[in-house]
């Protein structure tokens, strides 16, 4: 898999800057309107296993997210869709008979995490990069993870992923 972390970090930072957002939680409507003026973002009931649908029509971008998701997860999947619009406009949508593109999905997840919970801002909110393995210390660490997820208004797994990224950066 090619190294795309620098691309997503750079593009996410530029998008937040263009939308005049300096701190979390970052506004999805503002991010969308700056990146894709006139885009339509709406929720619907979607088939099992489909959290978002994204396409470009003659009238502009269209993002449909699974309405049944938590609002934090809705924000993440919309940011994921923004990544597809930015990086994958030439090949939007999974069609029957086409293989699932693992690299594009990973990049979209990395972008969504960096757009909504940038490591540059997250680093100011964490005391420890390592999760204690078990017991009360681990539960306390999970509580901190939940609190950080609330600050950035993303699912806790996004914060955990970004902390792992910070941990890798600190070790290299």
Are 79 and 115 within 8 A, CB to CB?
yes
Q: pLDDT digits over 133-163, tens only?
A: 778 888 888 888 899 999 999 999 999 999 8
Q: Report the pLDDT value the prediction gives residue 4, as an integer from 0 to 100.
A: 55
Q: How confident is the model at residue 6 (pLDDT cuts 50, 70, 90)?
A: low
Q: Report the pLDDT value the prediction gives residue 101, as an integer from 0 to 100.
A: 77
Beta bridge partners of 53: 64
* Cα radius of gyration rounded to whole Å, the chain: 16
Return the residue matching tokens 């792992």.
164
Percent of the chain scored above 90 by pLDDT?
60
In our burial notation (b when 16+ CB lie closer than 10 A, e otherwise), range 105-124 reads eebbbbbbbbbbbbbebbee
Q: Report the pLDDT value the prediction gives residue 102, as an integer from 0 to 100.
A: 86
Q: Report the pLDDT value the prediction gives residue 5, as an integer from 0 to 100.
A: 58
User: Which residues does 139 contact at the CB level (< 8 Å), separation at least 6?
Assistant: none
CA triplet 117, 118, 122: central angle to 5 degrees?
75
Q: pLDDT digits over 87-117, tens only?
A: 987 665 554 444 567 888 999 999 999 999 9
Are 149 and 159 within 8 A, CB to CB?
yes
Residue 129 has pLDDT above 50, yes or no: yes
Q: Which conformational region is residue 20 in: left (phi greater than 0), alpha (psi within -120 to 50 degrees), or beta?
A: left
Q: Could you give the number of structural domains in the chain?
A: 1
Mean pLDDT of the residues in the chain: 87
CA triplet 101, 63, 47: central angle to 5 degrees?
70
Q: How confident is the model at residue 81 (pLDDT cuts 50, 70, 90)?
A: very high
Q: Report the pLDDT value the prediction gives residue 2, as an integer from 0 to 100.
A: 45
Lowest-pLDDT range, 45-54, 106-115, 123-132, 146-155? Answer: 123-132
Write out the residue range of the structural domain in which residue 141 sits. Answer: 5-171
pTM of the model: 0.89
CA distance 171 to 1: 21
The most confident of the ranges 29-43, 82-96, 130-144 is: 29-43
């Amino acid at each position: 898999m090619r190294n795309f972390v620098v691309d997503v970090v750079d593009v996410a930072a530029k998008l937040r800057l263009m939308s005049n957002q300096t701190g979390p939680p970052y506004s999805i409507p503002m991010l969308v309107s700056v990146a894709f003026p006139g885009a339509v973002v709406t929720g619907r009931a979607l088939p099992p296993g489909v959290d978002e649908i994204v396409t470009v029509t003659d009238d502009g971008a269209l993002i449909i997210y699974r309405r049944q998701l938590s609002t934090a997860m809705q924000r993440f999947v919309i940011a994921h869709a923004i990544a597809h619009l930015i990086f994958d406009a030439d090949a939007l949508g999974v069609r029957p008979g086409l293989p699932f593109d693992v690299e594009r999905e990973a990049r979209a997840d990395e972008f969504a995490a960096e757009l909504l919970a940038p490591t540059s801002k997250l680093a100011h909110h964490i005391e420890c990069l390592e999760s204690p393995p078990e017991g009360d210390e681990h539960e306390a660490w999970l509580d901190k993870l939940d609190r950080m997820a609330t600050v950035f208004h993303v699912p806790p797994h996004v914060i955990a992923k970004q902390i792992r990224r910070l941990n890798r950066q600190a070790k290299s």
